Chains A and B, each alone.
Chain A
Amino acid sequence: MTRWDEGMTRTGPPPSGKHGPEGMPIKTIGNMDFAGQPAYGRDVTDTPPLHLAVALDGAGWHPAAWREPDASPDKLFTAAYWASLAAEAERGQLDFITIEDSLGQQSARYDGPDPRTDQVRGRLDAVLIASWIAPLTSHIGLVPTATVSHTEPFHVSKAIATLDYVSLGRAGWRAQVSRPWENSLFGRREVTAFRLEDFGTPEAQRQVAERFDEAADFAEVVRKLWDSWEDNAEIRDAATGRFIDRDKLHNIDFHGRWFSVRGPSITPRPPQGQPLVTVLAHATLAYRFAARAADVVYVTPRGAGHARAIVSEVRAEQEAAGRGDQTQHIFGDLVVFLGETAQEARARKARLDDTAGAEYTSDAHVFAGTPAQLAELLLDWQGAGLSGFRLRPGAIPGDLRHIAGELVPQLRRHGSFRTSYAETTLRERLGLPRPASRYATATSH
C-alpha cells in the first residue's frame, strides 16, 4: 500500500469502516479496549520498556490543526519551528522523531493535487530539516522521510550517511513509495495515476507491486552503499603514502530492473554502520517490503487483537525474507488528541473536526483521551507484540507537549520508559547491533 496516510487522513473513509476487525467500535477503544488489564500491579520487570517516536508533519495531523490558537502556521517553513519541535521531543526523551515528506504537494486526493486552500500546503525537504536539527540536539534520533521512486539510491544513501555523521550516529530513514501522479515531476515514466477506489484493480495492483519491488531494490542498494566502505578503510599510513586501504572499498555492482549502481559510495561508512531503515506498511505487499528492508516497521492496528494479527503477518514475512534471526521492531502508529480529561480531549478533536468541516479519519487508530489512558492503551497493545509506537500528534504544539510532558511520566510510572538517555546511537537505543559491512568478511585479512 502506498502512502495511505496521504490519501486517507484528510478525507478518505477509514479502510475498515467504523469498526475494528474484531467488531470493536473504534471510538471506544481509547477508553475501554483494555478493560481487565489493570496497569497497577503490572510487574515492572516483566514489561520491556516501550520505544516511543513522534511523527512530525506540518502543524499536526489534523487538517485543521494549523488553526488552533497555539499553532504557528506562519512558521512552518522556518528552521526555528522544527528545532523547537525536536527540542520538545528530546525533553521527553523520546527515541526519535520522524519527519513526513513527499515529492509533490500535499493533497487530500490520492490521484492528484486537490483544489483545497484551507489546509497546510507546501513543505520543506525532510532530510534537510533533520540535518538542521542534528547539530542542535544531542540525543534524539532523526528519521526523515525520503522517497524511493524516481530518486537516486546513490544520493539518498550518502544523504542519510551524512545525516548520521552530522548527528553522530542518530540518523534513520523512512523509505516511502511515491504517489503515482508524482511521475510527472520527473517525467521519466508513463504510469497512469489511479484513484484510491480503483486500488484493487489488477492494473493498480500491478503498478503497486512494481513500486514495492523497486523500493526493495532501492533499500538494498542504499544499504550496500553504506557497507561499501569497510569501517577501517581510512588508514592514513604516512609510511606507505596511503590514505586508504583500497582493498576495503568495494564496488556493489548492483544490476536491477529499475537501476544499476556500481559503487562504492563517495561517503565513508557512517557511524552506525547502517542508519535505521523504517517503513510504514498497511497491507501484505508493504509488509513484505518492510520485512525485507526495514529495522522498524510502522503498522496501523485498530485494536490489540488487530495488532496481534498484523504482528504475526509481519513476522511471517520476516521469516520468509530470511531475516527471522534479526531484531525487527514493529511500532504501532496512532493519531493522538490529548487533554487533561478525556472529555476535554474529545471536545478538542470535535472542535477541530468542526473547523475542518468533516470528521477526521485516518489510516491509523485515532485516540482522544488523557495521557494516562493513552499509556494504558499503549501497554495493552504492547502485549500484542508491538515493541513501540509512533505517535502522530493531532495538533502541534499541544499534543506534542502532552506526549513529551505527560504521557512519558505516565509510562515511567509503569516502569515502561527510560528516565535518561543512556545510549549514544539510535541503533543502540533500539537494541540493534551495529552491523558489520557485508563486504568485510570476504576480504578481511
Chain B
Amino acid sequence: MSKPRKQIILGAYVGGVNHHTVWSDPAAGSQIDFSTFRHVAQTAERGKFDFFFLAEGLIPRERLGQIFDQDIIGRPDTLPVLTAIAAVTSHLGVVGTLNATFNEPYELARQLASLDHLSGGRAGWNVVTSFDAFTGQNFRRGGFLHRDDRYIRAGEFIDITRQLWDSWPAGAVVADKASGEFLRDAAVGTFEHHGKQFDISGQFSVPPSPQGRPVVLQAGVSPQGRDFASANADAIFSPYHQLDEARAFYADINARVVGHGRAAGSVKLLPSASFVLGDTEAQARERHREISLAQVSGKTAQVLFEGVWNRDLSGYDPDGPLPDIDPDPDGPRVIKGRAVLHQDAHQTVGRWRALAAEHGYSLRETAVHVFSRTEFIGTPAQVAERIDSFVQNDGSDGFIIGSHLTPGGLDEFVDKVVPLLQERGSLRADYTGTTLRDNLGIPVPQPAAQTAGLRS
C-alpha cells in the first residue's frame, strides 16, 4: 500500500495583469522594477522552490477599444528578466511563457539555449500558441492562426527546437589550443525542416544545453491538448484544484504519457495556487474576505463578466443582481487581449445565475466567488497539510504558488509553510542538483539521433 513519499514541486510566480494582484495594498511594490523580481526569486530560492515562473503578455488588454486601466498592466520581456534572475540565484529554475505563434523557432531555440547555458541548466519554456488577430497586429506575421492550426504550429515549433537543441553532438566543441581544433565538425548544427508552418534550414549556433534540453511546459485540457502535452511536455499546467477531478486528469495524462512510450511520472502536473494564511482558520478566512474584495472591485467584476457575456455591462449595478440579458458570444469582442476561457458562455452564465440565486449574491459577490481564486486558506499547518495530501494523493506533483501581494507576499509562505513541508519530508531541505531537471527529478532526454538533415 505504502508508496514512496513524493517530493512536492514548487514554482513561484509574480502575479500581474489581472485582478489577483492587489496593487492598491500600501505594501504593494513595483510590477516592473527588477528589485521586485529579484526579491520574489530569492525568496523562492530561500524556500528551496524548484523554479520561478513568469507569464507573458504581448498586447495590453482592451475593453471596447480602450486599454484596461483598473488592473495591473505592463510586464518585462520574459527572457531578459529570467536571465537576470538566474544571475542573482544559483539553483532556482527560471521558466517563462513564450508564444509559438509570434516567435520563430530558430531564434527562440537559440535564446532558450543561451539562457540554459548562462544559468547552468536552469531554463524552462512554457509553450503557448495564440490565435487572436488582435495580438498579431504587433508582429510581422500578422494575426490570425486558425484554431486547428495551433497545434500544428506548436508541434512543428517544438520539433524544430528539439532538433536544434540536439544538433550539436556531445564533444562537438574540442577547443584544443595545441592542435588548433576548435570544432570537431565544421557542419555541426546543420538542420532542415520543411513543414506547413516552417520551411527553414541552416546551421544552429549554440552548443548542447547543460541539461540536455531546456524543460518544456504546456497547458492543455482538450483531448487534443492533453495528447499533445503528454507527447511533448516535461510538465503540464493543470487547471484542476478539486482532488477528484485532479486525480482523474493526473491518471489520464499519465496513461497518455505511457501511450507515447514515456515513463509514467515523467511529465509533472502543476496547478497554480494562491494562499492566505492566518494564526487561526477564522483569521485566515477574514483576511481572505478582505483580500478578495480588494481583488474584485465593482469595476473589475463588471469587466470580468463582460469577458464571458461579451456585452457592455457598465449599466449594471455591481451591488445589484447579475445581468438578466443573455450573453452574446458571437458578437464582436468586448474584451480583447485576454484568452477566451469559456467555450459555452450560455452554460457558464446559467451556472453563475444558479450560484447567485442559491446564495443571494450580488453581481460583485458572484464575481468574488467565481474569479477570486484562492486555493489554500488557513493556518500554516492546515495549508501545509492540504498541499501535501493533494500531492501525495496524486492530485498533482506540486503547485505554482503566487501571492496577491507583490513582491513581499511569498515571504510568509516561505517562512511559515515551507518549514512544515520540509518537516513532513515532502520538500527538500536543500538542493541536491544544479539543473532544473535535477530539481524536478525528470530525466535528461536522449538526443534525437535521427534528427533529419544532421550531417556527420
Contact = CB atoms under 8 A, between A and B. Distances in A.
A128 B60 contact: no
Interface stretch (B62-70, B390-398, B420-428): B62-70
B66 A125 contact: no
Interface string A179-201: 00110111110000000000000
Given A66-B182, A135-B38, A249-B67, A166 B137 contact: no
Given A152-B102, A182-B202, A128 B115 contact: yes
B110 interface: yes
B58 interface: yes
A6 B117 CA distance: 24
B76 A246 contact: no
Nearest to A154: B138
A73 B81 contact: no
Interface in B252-307: 297, 299
A124 interface: yes
Given A152-B102, A262-B137, A135 B87 contact: yes
Contacts of A264: 60, 67
Contacts of B32: 165, 267-268
Nearest to B200: A187
Contacts of B33: 165
Interface stretch (A108-116, A293-301, A309-317, A389-397): A108-116
Interface in A106-148: 106, 113-125, 127-129, 131-136
Nearest to B17: A266
A261 B140 CA distance: 8
B202 A243 contact: no
A377 to B, nearest CB: 31
Given A185-B106, A245-B69, A66 B186 contact: no
Nearest to B111: A125
Contacts, number: 231
Contacts of A82: 118
B203 interface: yes
Interface string A307-337: 0000000000000000000000000000000
A244 B84 contact: no
Interface residues of B, number: 75
A108 B107 CA distance: 22
A241 B299 contact: yes
B60 A249 contact: yes
A162 B114 contact: no
Nearest to B115: A128
Interface string A265-287: 01110000000000000000000
B189 A67 contact: no
B186 A168 contact: no
A229 B69 CA distance: 13
A432 interface: no
Contacts of B138: 152, 154, 261-263
A244 B115 contact: no
Interface stretch (B173-181, B341-349, B360-368, B433-441): B173-181
A132 B83 contact: yes
B205 A105 contact: yes
A186 B34 CA distance: 32
A355 B180 contact: yes
Given A78-B117, A131-B81, A158-B77, A122 B205 contact: yes
B380 interface: no
A118 B175 CA distance: 9
B203 A113 contact: yes
A236 B24 contact: yes
Contact of A165 (B58, B76, B186, B297): B76
Given A73-B182, A184-B201, A243 B71 contact: yes
Contacts of B66: 246
Given A162-B81, A268-B32, A238 B203 contact: no
Interface in A71-87: 71, 73-74, 76-79, 82-83
Given A103-B106, A236-B24, A132 B74 contact: no
A187 B140 contact: no
B215 to A, nearest CB: 17
Contact of B74 (A119, A245, A266): A266
A245 B70 CA distance: 10
A259 interface: yes
B41 to A, nearest CB: 11
A186 B76 contact: no
Contacts of B148: none
B149 interface: no
A366 interface: no
Given A103-B107, A124-B114, A127-B80, A165 B69 contact: no
B290 to A, nearest CB: 15
A123 B114 CA distance: 8
Contacts of A78: 117-118, 120
B180 A152 contact: no
Interface in B9-57: 23-24, 32-34, 38, 57
Interface string B69-97: 11111111101110110111000000000
Contacts of A152: 102-103, 138-140
A48 B182 CA distance: 44
9 contacts: A74-B173, A78-B117, A102-B205, A134-B84, A159-B77, A185-B200, A187-B200, A246-B69, A260-B142
The 3 closest A-B pairs by CB, nearest first: A73-B175, A125-B114, A262-B137
Given A127-B79, A162-B80, 10 more contacts: A105-B205, A115-B187, A116-B186, A117-B184, A125-B111, A128-B111, A133-B87, A135-B87, A166-B34, A264-B60
Interface of A: 66-69, 71, 73-74, 76-79, 82-83, 102-106, 113-125, 127-129, 131-136, 150-152, 154-155, 158-159, 161-163, 165-166, 168, 181-182, 184-188, 229, 234, 236, 238, 241-246, 249, 258-264, 266-268, 355
